[in-house]
Every structure is written in structure tokens, then in C-alpha cells.
Amino acid sequence: SYQYLENAWLYIFSTFAVLWVLVWLYRDSVEIDNIGEKYVFVTGCDTGFGNLLCKKLDRKGFRVLAGCLTEKGGDDLKRVASSKLKTVLLDVTSQDSIQKAMEWTKKEVGDKGLWGIVNNAGRALPMGPSEWMKIEDFQCTLKVNMDGVIAMTMTFLPLIKKARGRIVNVASVLGRVAANGGGYCISKFAVEAFSDCLRRDINNFGVNVCIIEPGFFKTAVTSLEPLERELHRLWNQLSPEVKASYGDKYLDKYIKVQRLIMGVVCDSDLSKVTNCMEHAVSAAHPRTRYSAGWDAKLIWIPLSYMPSFVVDLGLKLVLPRPSKSV
């Protein structure tokens, strides 16, 4: 009968769905072999996600090559890691520094090639209303987050191709939803696009490209003090006409909103992000995208699939209105 057929199809579909989930979970849990022989280069290791990731990968047995901006950052990391972990000074805004780091890495890895690179180095500030920015305010962020990721990847690509390894690029949920003015969202959208293009171009050579999309976490990037300091600097460089269009109380209201958002949304458990990074370099079948944090999964990623007017309306309701808005 019709009812019997309907039930049979439902049973078949449910069985297929359960099997698919079980197979996916199994594939997702399979790890690569010979971890102790594999080299992983991580950028931005002085503090935050990069620092924590290096310690995790070192404990797991990887041969970690940590790019640090300062000597102190490198020394502090070496003190809490095994003798296998090695550090190198690296400024991702300098092609000369990147080239030197690559030559050093080439000597370290030898004929094996480089198994993984994690492009983690980044900066967020200045952030604020787009009209408050000067060209240099955009460029200083783009130089690190966009140009730095591209330069590191292209310079190290021959070593990664040799190992048929992994490229792990740290984007952000703000690379899916443009919620802030300044260079940060622009740079993270660029990382998403660059990673997608690269993945499709080099997949035939056995190289995987993974994107990490963290939500809001308590790091130096989301620290309120520098964020507020930068907002005051931006405000002070505005012309009297632009200031008047926003009104005297706009800056204080804007800062209060930022405090509220950071207080409610920011997660202090950085391991949610580093677990994703670790999976991307150690899994036999890495995912293309990793969303880390409850806000990423429940707010930002769903928002990114919605019509633009939904995000526009949401931000309009949250952010203060300029005094001369029409």
C-alpha cells in the first residue's frame, strides 16, 4: 500500500543518513601517519592562538617551526616547549624577512618538504566607522592580514607541494559578515577568496587548503583598551564637519556598544580555535572550513547566508545613530 511504501522510503532514507553521519565521523577522526617526521610552520607565535597551537603541536609530536615577531616571544615559547620546537624571527609585512624564514625552513626540513603552514599572524586595529579611516588605517591591517598571508603562502608553496602538505589560513567570521569598518573585515574576506582560489588550483597536486573561521575570542586582538584608544585616535583626526554630523555623544555610545558586544560574545577558551587548527594539520581528511566558537556557529555563519538587509537591519538596531542621520 501507499502507506507501506512511504514508511519504507523513510526507513531507507533514515538508514542512509545515519550511515553517512557514521562514515563522516570515522573519516573525520582518522589521523595521518608518522607525525614525528612532519614539519609545521606557524606564524604569529608570540601570543594568542599561534602560541597555544605551537605548544599543542609540539606535545603531539610534530616538528614545530614557530615564526615570532620578537626575540622575547621566541625565547618564552622555547622555554615551555620541547627541544624539537625551533623559532625564527618573522615579520610577515617584509618580503625579505619571509624569504629568510623560508631559506631557514628549507634547511630544517631537508628533502621531506614542509608538511604544513598555519598563517595565523594578524592584526585587527584600527576598527570603527569606515568614514573615520584614512587610507593608511586600511593599509596597515591589509599589509599583515592579506598581503602577509599571500606572501607567506606563495613563498613557502614549493616546500609544501614537495610534501603534499597543508595550508591552513586563519580567516574569521568577519570574513563572512562585514560588521566593522576598517581593514579587518576586508582582509578576512580576501583570505577566504584567496584560500578558495588556491584550493581549487592546487588540489590536483595533493595539497589541502583549510580555512579557520574563529568567532570572537579573548585575545590581544579583541582587547578593549587598544580598541578604545584607536577609536579615540580616529575620532580626533576627523574634521569638525564630520564630527558634527555624528554628534558629541556618538563616540561614547559607540564605545559602550563595543564593550557590550565584547563582554557578551567573547569566549576565553582559545583551545576551541587551536583544536580546529590541529585537526587541519593532523587529520587524514581535513575539512575545508572550520567554524570555532558558539557565536560563529549560532550567529555569524547563519547570518552570512541571509539576505543583506537582515544584517543591515541588525547592525542598525545595535549601533548608535549619528545626530544628523536622515
172 and 94 co-located in one domain: yes
Do residue 1 and residue 113 come from a single domain? no
What is the total count of domains within the chain? 2
Tell whether 115 and 154 lie within a shared domain.
yes
Contact residues for 142 (Cβ-Cβ < 8 A; gap 6+): 183, 186, 187, 190
**How crowded is the C-beta side of 199, counted as CA atoms within 13 Å?**
18
For residues 69 and 190, membership in a common domain is answered with: yes
> Exactly one of 39, 184, 246, 250 is catalytic; which is it?
184
Give residue 2's pLDDT.
66
324 occurs within a structural domain:
no
Q: Is residue 325 part of a domain?
A: no
Same domain flag for 12 and 139: no
Q: Which residues form the domain of 229?
A: 35-318
Q: What is the pLDDT along the chain (326 residues), one digit of tens a residue?
A: 666 777 887 888 899 999 999 999 999 999 999 999 999 999 999 999 999 999 999 999 999 999 999 999 999 999 999 999 999 999 999 999 999 999 999 999 999 999 999 999 999 999 999 999 999 999 999 999 999 999 999 999 999 999 999 999 999 999 999 999 999 999 999 999 999 999 999 999 999 999 999 999 988 777 889 999 999 999 999 999 999 999 999 999 999 999 988 888 888 899 999 999 999 999 999 999 999 999 999 999 999 999 999 999 999 999 999 999 88
Same domain, 48 and 197: yes
In this structure, are residues 230 and 126 in contact, taking their beta carbons and an 8 Å threshold?
Answer: yes
Residue 198 shares a structural domain with residue 299: yes
71 located within any domain: yes
Same structural domain, 12 and 70? no
Does a structural domain hold residue 326?
no
> Do 77 and 199 have their domain in common?
yes
The reported pLDDT for the residue numbered 268 is 87
Residue 4: active-site member:
no
Q: Answer yes or no: pTM beyond 0.85.
A: yes
246 domain residue, yes or no: yes
Domain of residue 115, CATH code: 3.40.50.720
Distance CA 219, CA 62 (A): 25
Q: Give the H/E segment covering residue 63.
A: strand 63-68
Does one domain contain both 26 and 39? no
323 within some domain: no
